[in-house]
Amino acid sequence: MPHPVRIAPSILSADFARLGEEVRALDAAGADWMHLDIMDGHFVPNISFGPSIVKALRPHTTKPFDVHLMISPIDAYLDAFADAGADTITVHPEAGPHIHRSLQRIKALGKRAGVVLNPGTPAKMLDYLLDTVDLVLVMSVNPGFGGQHFIDGQLKKIAAIRKMIDASGRAIDLEVDGGIDADSARRCIEAGADALVAGTAVFRGGPDSYAANIAALRGG
Task: Catalytic residue, from 40, 66, 177, 194: name it.
Answer: 177
3-state secondary structure of 1: coil
93/82 Cα distance (integer angstroms): 19
80/197 Cα distance (integer angstroms): 23
Taking the CB of residue 171, how many other CB atoms lie within 10 A of it? 8
Q: Known catalytic residue: 27?
A: no
Give me the DSSP letters along 157-219.
HHHHHHHHHHHHTS--EEEEESS--HHHHHHHHHHT--EEEESHHHHTT-GGGHHHHHHHHHT
Q: Known catalytic residue: 131?
A: no
Task: Catalytic residue, from 37, 40, 134, 173: name it.
Answer: 37
CB 102 within 8 A of CB 73: no
Catalytic residue ranges: 37, 177
